[in-house]
């Protein structure tokens, strides 16, 4: 049997590893470096590389680079400043401190650079909640750091993932897409015309992810390449068509049911409001956040009255009457068994009111494990950090199943080139 070709990638803004996991699952890619600056995500990804992908502890530590990508020159070339050494544990990262990504990559060719800069500055919801519409947010310009790494390693292609809101973001009155297109062009790469980028928006449920999540997948090719952008997108769509659609029931329907207690209690300093119906819980990620009796009754009542199907006015009235509030927004929503989940968001680390479990008898919001499965993370994926940190990193991640399908499409294109 012919051995599959292994292509290489660098993952920027790697988070807890959604994109990396998908590319590794494709069995066509090797990760040379994964760059992330939030420590719970760094530790989670290192742990995954060791346990699932059989890296040694030393190699996993070395490949997942804990660093601020805004310090792009240091990241690429090494010679970290004293401040960086102090802030990012450089004393334990000696080779990377001295040699940077270039030393880590060595003589290997980088085929692909992937990543998705934090999307809050581009999201429509984020702009609506900020008094300056995120115009002053530094995250508007993190794409510049991505471009510097692309320029340094000159890969065949790159995959830049973000929210569709990026298409309408215009800090300083200049559309971000115009800035991005111009900046990539200056370092020798072509992306879709800004007018055509709407066609690069994909829905995760079309990739076998049990979740409706729209994402902009901006692919760039090096100037002079024999690859064709339309062919690449077409190949990705062809691979997506081979995946089976999945629902909330498919993703979390087999997990142990958790029932609310009449009398909550404390365990190891933690308030417990729900327990498994059948046996002691073995999965530390399938323990729901604490819900007080009022919330439990609200969740149950919401589902019994089928409030998801009511008008927005009725939903707001339901909330205000129960909680004696005067809000103009509906605060609740339950998942529905036979549909994909709505977009899993990082806001889950604050509360789960918009992610009520569909079983009225459980009367709770979803667990970390359920959020992860709805994002298509494998059931054995371990997330390190507080419960809030886990919700946040999952909400910020790229669904691995979506990433895997994109990886297969891109590898098909790269292999056709290799064969010819």
Length of the chain (residues): 420
Regarding whether 407 and 305 lie in a shared domain, the answer is: no
Q: Can you tell me the distance from the alpha carbon of 19 to that of 23, in angstroms, rounded to the nearest whole number?
A: 6
> Considering the domain boundaries, does residue 2 fall inside one?
no
Regarding whether 339 and 240 lie in a shared domain, the answer is: no
Regarding whether 97 and 190 lie in a shared domain, the answer is: yes
Regarding whether 166 and 235 lie in a shared domain, the answer is: yes
Question: Would you give the DSSP letter of residue 399?
Answer: P
Give the CATH number of the domain where residue 176 resides: 3.40.50.150
Q: Can you tell me the distance from the alpha carbon of 166 to that of 156, in angstroms, rounded to the nearest whole number?
A: 24
pTM of the model: 0.92
Q: Can you tell me the distance from the alpha carbon of 100 to that of 148, in angstroms, rounded to the nearest whole number?
A: 14
Regarding whether 212 and 107 lie in a shared domain, the answer is: yes
Tell me the pairing of strands 7-12 and 214-222: unpaired
Q: Can you tell me the distance from the alpha carbon of 151 to that of 3, in angstroms, rounded to the nearest whole number?
A: 31
Q: Can you tell me the distance from the alpha carbon of 213 to that of 81, in angstroms, rounded to the nearest whole number?
A: 39
Regarding whether 402 and 391 lie in a shared domain, the answer is: no
Each of the 420 residues of the chain gets a pLDDT tens digit; together they read: 455 668 999 999 999 999 999 999 999 999 999 999 999 999 999 999 999 999 999 999 999 999 999 999 999 999 999 888 888 877 778 888 889 999 999 999 999 999 988 755 444 344 345 444 444 444 446 888 999 999 999 999 999 999 998 898 887 788 888 989 999 999 999 999 988 999 999 999 999 999 999 999 999 999 998 899 999 999 999 999 999 999 999 999 999 999 999 988 988 888 999 999 877 778 999 999 999 999 999 999 999 999 999 999 999 999 888 878 888 888 899 999 999 999 999 999 999 999 999 999 999 999 999 999 999 999 999 999 999 999 999 999 999 999 999 999 999 999 875 543
User: What domain count does the chain have?
Assistant: 2
Regarding whether 413 and 384 lie in a shared domain, the answer is: no
Regarding whether 102 and 165 lie in a shared domain, the answer is: yes
H or E element that contains 158:
strand 157-162
Task: Give the gyration radius of the chain's Cα atoms.
Answer: 22
Regarding whether 240 and 145 lie in a shared domain, the answer is: yes
Q: Can you tell me the distance from the alpha carbon of 241 to that of 199, in angstroms, rounded to the nearest whole number?
A: 16
Which residue range(s) make up the domain with 156?
A: 7-246+398-419
Tokens of 306: 């089928």
241 burial type by CB count under 10 A (0-12 exposed, 13-18 middle, 19+ buried): exposed
Regarding whether 261 and 242 lie in a shared domain, the answer is: no
Transcribe 236-260 into DSSP letters. Answer: HHHHHHTSPP--HHHHHTTSPPEEE
Give the CATH number of the domain where residue 277 resides: 3.90.120
> Considering the domain boundaries, does residue 99 fall inside one?
yes
> Considering the domain boundaries, does residue 291 fall inside one?
yes
Regarding whether 239 and 135 lie in a shared domain, the answer is: yes
> Considering the domain boundaries, does residue 75 fall inside one?
yes
Regarding whether 410 and 353 lie in a shared domain, the answer is: no
CA dist list (Å): 120 to 213, 325, 347, 357: 15, 28, 11, 26
> Considering the domain boundaries, does residue 1 fall inside one?
no
């Amino acid at each position: 049997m012919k051995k599959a070709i292994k292509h290489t990638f660098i993952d920027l803004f790697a988070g807890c590893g959604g994109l990396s996991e998908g590319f590794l699952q494709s069995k066509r890619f090797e990760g040379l470096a994964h760059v992330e600056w939030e420590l719970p995500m760094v530790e989670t990804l290192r742990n995954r590389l060791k346990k699932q992908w059989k890296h040694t502890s030393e190699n996993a530590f070395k490949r997942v680079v804990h660093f601020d990508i805004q310090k792009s020159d240091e990241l690429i070339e090494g010679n970290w400043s004293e401040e960086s050494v102090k802030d990012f544990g450089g004393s334990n990262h000696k080779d990377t401190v001295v040699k940077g990504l270039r030393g880590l990559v060595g003589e290997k060719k980088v085929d692909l650079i992937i990543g998705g800069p934090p999307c809050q500055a581009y999201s429509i919801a984020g702009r609506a909640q900020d008094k300056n519409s995120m115009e002053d947010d530094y995250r508007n310009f993190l794409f510049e750091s991505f471009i510097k790494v692309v320029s340094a390693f000159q890969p065949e292609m790159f995959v830049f993932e973000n929210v569709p809101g990026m298409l309408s973001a215009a800090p300083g009155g200049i559309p971000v897409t115009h800035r991005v297109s111009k900046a990539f062009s200056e370092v020798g790469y072509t992306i879709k015309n800004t007018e055509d980028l709407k066609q690069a928006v994909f829905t995760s449920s079309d990739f076998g992810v049990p979740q409706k999540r729209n994402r902009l997948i901006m692919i760039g090719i090096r100037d002079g390449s024999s690859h064709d952008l339309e062919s690449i997108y077409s190949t990705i769509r062809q691979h997506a068509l081979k995946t089976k659609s999945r629902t909330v029931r498919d993703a979390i329907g087999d997990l142990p049911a958790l029932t609310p207690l009449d009398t909550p209690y404390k365990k190891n300093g933690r308030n417990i409001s729900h327990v498994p119906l059948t046996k002691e819980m073995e999965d530390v990620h399938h323990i729901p956040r604490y819900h007080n009796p009022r919330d439990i009754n609200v969740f149950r009542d919401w589902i019994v009255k089928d409030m998801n199907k009511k008008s927005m006015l009725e939903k707001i009235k339901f909330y205000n009457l129960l909680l004696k509030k005067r809000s103009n927004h509906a605060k609740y929503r339950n998942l529905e068994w036979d549909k994909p989940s709505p977009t899993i968001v990082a806001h889950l680390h604050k509360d789960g009111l918009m992610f009520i479990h569909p079983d009225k008898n459980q009367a709770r919001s979803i667990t970390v494990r359920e959020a992860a499965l709805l994002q298509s993370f494998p059931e054995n994926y371990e997330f390190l950090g507080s419960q809030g940190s886990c919700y946040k990193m999952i909400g910020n991640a790229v669904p691995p199943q979506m990433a895997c399908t994109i990886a297969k499409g891109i590898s098909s294109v790269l292999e056709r080139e290799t064969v010819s």
